Each structure stands twice: as C-alpha cells, then as structure tokens.
Structure 1
C-alpha cells in the first residue's frame, strides 16, 4: 500500500508540474484529492483513479475532446480504486475530460465495492444496472445517451465520443 501512496503523490505532483509548465492559471487538478464532485452528501465520493494522466496527448484526440466538451453532458463514473481495469482506464478518461474542459459539476463519481459473491454495491448501482466497472454513463437532459462498460475494446473517451456522434 505504501507504493499506492507514493504513486498518488507522484501523479499529483506530475499533474501540478504539467499544469505549471503549460502556464495554466485555471488548473482544475492540483493534488491527489482535488477532483471532487458535486452530489448529495449520501452519494459523495471520490475515485483516486480519476486523476488525469499527465502523459495523455489531447492533440492526438482532437475530435474526441471536441465531442466530450459539448455543453449539457453529464458524466456518471462508477469504478473502484481497487479495480485493475479502473486504474488502467480512468486516468486517460479523466485527462480527456480535463482537455475538454468539462466542469467538475458535470462529472459524478460513484465508488463501487465488490462483494464476496462478485456483485457490486455502491451509489445508484441498482438504478443504473451496474455489473462491471468501470462504467461511464453519459446523460443529456437526464436521459442516457451513451454508456461505456468495462469490456469495450477502445479507450473510454473514444468509445463515448463515437457513441455521442452517432
């Protein structure tokens, strides 16, 4: 576990350095705990795995970033810091949302736990039929318009941008 703490500090430091190097005075992420969502107290949670990957190259994904930046989209993210797939996929997705300048209030985190029988528990898991994580649901005007589920073969941001473009 000590390595996890080191890694979080390193990522937070790298994000801060990356922002400073790019002269961004509106940096949204400056520490390993700074990405928080606006939800009711009962739903509030933070996924450490949603720290943006500082090495993610937005220039390589211009169309994806543009699609994700659409006003009115809300991104609901279910994941777990214990989950290997979440740790592999969510940092790039967070970087894409950051590049798209999606406001924090349009990104909702729902931390999920895994029960002994393999089922998932957490906020809104049953209401949204969450079986696998990471799962990202995109809503517009309260209606689901796209969904990424763990086993898609492309990065989360690319998959959702393609779904939204259809």
Structure 2
C-alpha cells in the first residue's frame, strides 16, 4: 500500500509539474507569429512562393526602372541642351541676315558669308540633335513605363502572396478556435 501511495504521489507530482510546462508550451504556440494548420499549408506555401518570386522580380524591375529613368533624364538634357543651342544659332543667323550689310571688298563679303553659313550649319546641327534627343526621350520614356509596369506587377505578386499567407493563417486560427 505504501508503494501505491508513493507511486500515486509521484504521479500527482509529475502531473502538477508537467501541466504548467504544457500550458506554457501551448501558450507559446498560440503566440507564435505564423501558425498554419496542415489543411491550409498548401495555401501558405503558394503565398510564400508568390511573395518570394515577387520580391525577386521587384529587385530586377527596380534596377531596370532606375536605369531607364536615368536614360530619360539624359535624353531630356540632350533635347533641352540642343534646343537652347539651336535657338542661339537661329538668333545668330537671323541677326546676321536681318539686313544685308554693305561690303567694301569681296573678302569682307566672304567673311560675312562664312559667318552666315556657320550659323545656318549650327542651327541645322542642333535642330537635328534636338530631334534625336526627342526620339531618345520617347524611347526611354516607353522603356521607363514598361519598367514601372514590371515594378507594379511584382508588387501585385507580393501582395497576392501575402494575402494568401494571411488567409491561410486566418483560416487556421478559425479552425483551431472551433
């Protein structure tokens, strides 16, 4: 009988010490950040995969976007610089040709003609550069828009993955609550 009481006492003592430990473990499990039941694990995995793919795509897309944005700025600078230079050359040409001066010798006339020719050449050159800059700007802007669309698509993938993970977690909590 003594052995039985000792065994019962030992069992009660073990139970008393084990209960707080198991209760603590259950409490920690309920406080964990992410708890998904096996039933919703597939949804969680799909969401995790989508989020991971989205983050990878986002990194690549942002690099492209930065590069294409720099191209846009460079094309704008080229266009604007060429426009200003073309306007200056145009003004110089108009100033030289506003009234034809009287020349006392052919060398003076030839010098004036060279100045007019130089101004007209610069005007044409910078007008062409302005057009090139505008074309580059159009191309760069299109690439920038596509890169922004890739960033948006990657963000949507990340959001979709996170939503699936949150839904799997919510459903798992709901299942445990029942």
Q: Normalization by structure 2: what TM-score?
A: 0.20
Q: Could you state the TM-score of these two structures normalised by the residue count of structure 1? A: 0.21
Q: Compare the two structures and name the one with the higher helix fraction.
A: 2
Structure having the higher strand fraction is 1
Q: Which has the higher contact order (CA 8 A, sep 6+)?
A: 2
| Larger CA Rg, structure 1 vs 2 | 2
